Structure 1
Amino acid sequence: MLVVDDQPLFRAGLVALLNAAAGMTVVGEAADGDTAVRLAESSGPDVVLMDVRMPRMTGFAALERIVASGSPARVLILTTSDLDEHVCEALRLGAAGFVLKESEPARLLAAITAVACGEMQFSPAVMRRLVAAYLRADAAATPSSLPGLGELTGREREVLRLVGTGITNADIAARLTVTEGTVKTHLNRVMTKLRLTSRAQAVVTAYESGLVTPQLVARTA
């Protein structure tokens, strides 16, 4: 894990939290994006926890550089702002997730674990903003325009609904009393049937289909 934040006290708190968590080890710290890019290459972290507003190089610029370098590190954006343009920019540049600094420690740790396992991860609050922005940009989309939705089994629809609320595969598995492997299998089938290429698209589809509403996501936040 590489922790990148320009606020020393906040960064120290994150490092202490992560080093105390089972299975997590901080391999480096950075106070700016330029240093983050260099450390991402030299220390080989699985996940980079990246602030947005920093001196010398912003978190988004550092994210773009890390992705362009071909690094296997997955970048989880951590910020105080959930502005629509920030969420969309993070997705465009290849972020694996976007979590607010106000999140509870347990939610942050769950997000890091999910990202390390190859999942996309957004807090419920961020997920609401992302979907709202998407639907504003594509107001013509309707449930009837979603090919393949009728091909989903009942369990696959339930998995899609839960993915749409922004929770992790582990949380979905717990709610459905199945293994994470089973959840991944159902989700892969959903993605294939609906011709989706990312978890973010699956979330948007859950909203467009009416399986998820902003009120439902608010109750899971």
Structure 2
Amino acid sequence: MIEINQISKSFAGKDAVKDLDLSIPDGKIFGFLGPNGAGKSTTIKMMTGILPIDKGSIVMNGIDVSKDPIKAKLQFGYVPDRSDIFLRLKGIEYLNFIADVFEVSQDMRKEKIEYLTKSFGIYEALNDHIQTYSHGMRQKIVVSGVLLHDPDVWILDEPLTGLDPKSSYTLKEMMREHASRGKIVFFSTHVLEVVEQLCDEVAIINNGHVQFKGNMAEMKQQFAEDDNLERLFLELTQNE
């Protein structure tokens, strides 16, 4: 479970996130929506420890991410919204580096690396440098690294960006399977159709505040039965 309790973050005196509360139960695919500048990435960076929390707390599987950051980081895998990292490493070097950090055994890492990279169609490129990869391939190698140690919580910031249809389908199936095992998938996206098809619950953030949290049925019931997600999203964020 993830408990986000009254967190706030400001930059140069301006609130990016203000008194944000979210409770995300196990076994859910949780969609995090909002327009550009709404506070999505800031929230995610506080969840992952990249940004310090000005006020409030985030507890992941019973571990406070501020008080015990190393133990908290073992609970999750994080796909950032940019995949331009470790470009001078070969794909296999990057995955072995991640496996070393999370103490994945040699036998397990070999099996997982082969499974993940073949699933995403990049197995044959593992001995190439990441800087030679296309944007989509870089996204795939980062996703493979995140899933390598099988963390309980997946935190994915725009994970489908740059993926071809086959790889996008593969990742969505992996997300469903992960949640079905009682784990959490927390992801932000601008692809509203994916949220409507995939998410068990959704939160919409705007101007640093949560405008709505619930499942799709509750959202549609709150507004109009025949509304689709795009119209609801635009209505909730109309003052942006």
Please report the TM-score for the alignment, with normalisation by the length of structure 1.
0.35
TM-score with structure 2 setting the length: 0.33
Which structure has greater helix proportion?
A: 1
Structure with the higher strand share, 1 or 2:
2
